[in-house]
Amino acid sequence: MSVDAYISGCPPEVRPVLQQIRRIVKRTVPAATETISYRMPAYRLERTFLYFAAFKNHIGIYPPVKGDRALAKALAPYRGPKGNLKFPLDRPMPYELIARVVAALSRSCIPGR
């Protein structure tokens, strides 16, 4: 399965959200390699740093973000029980915040960080 196939298999109303997250990743981390892992879109540099998935009521982003207090505070309303992020589909999607998450998670793949 490809990321294109994953997105096209989601409900039509969710596809634009997933496509925008995909564009954010590509713009923020152009060197990232796109793949499917654990049946969801995943992005790699030295290792996989980001997964996202559509669920009935939210978009999930994994793994949890660590080490940035300001970002952690901004993400507090979206944290699930294990720290993974849940962005509700019935509210405006915080794309700028998601871009900050992508940047933070990609930095974890850079040696020495």
CATH number at residue 36: 3.90.1150.200
pLDDT value for 110: 60
Instruction: Determine the number of helices (DSSP H) and then strands (DSSP E) in the chain.
Output: 4, 5
Confirm whether 77 is domain-assigned. Answer: yes
CA distance 47 to 36: 13
pLDDT value for 82: 84
Residue listed under structure tokens 């505070």: 73
pLDDT value for 111: 52
User: By residue range, what is the domain housing residue 63?
Assistant: 3-107
Residues 28-67: tens digit of each pLDDT = 999 999 999 999 999 999 899 999 999 999 999 998 888 8
Confirm whether 83 is domain-assigned. Answer: yes
Confirm whether 24 is domain-assigned. Answer: yes
Structure tokens at 112: 């020495």
Confirm whether 113 is domain-assigned. Answer: no
Task: Give the number of domains in the chain.
Answer: 1
> Above 60 in pLDDT, residue 22?
yes
C-alpha distances out from residue 12 to 37, 84, 87, 88, 103, Å: 22, 24, 17, 16, 27
Confirm whether 51 is domain-assigned. Answer: yes
Confirm whether 95 is domain-assigned. Answer: yes
Residues 92-112: tens digit of each pLDDT = 999 999 999 999 999 877 654
pLDDT value for 81: 83
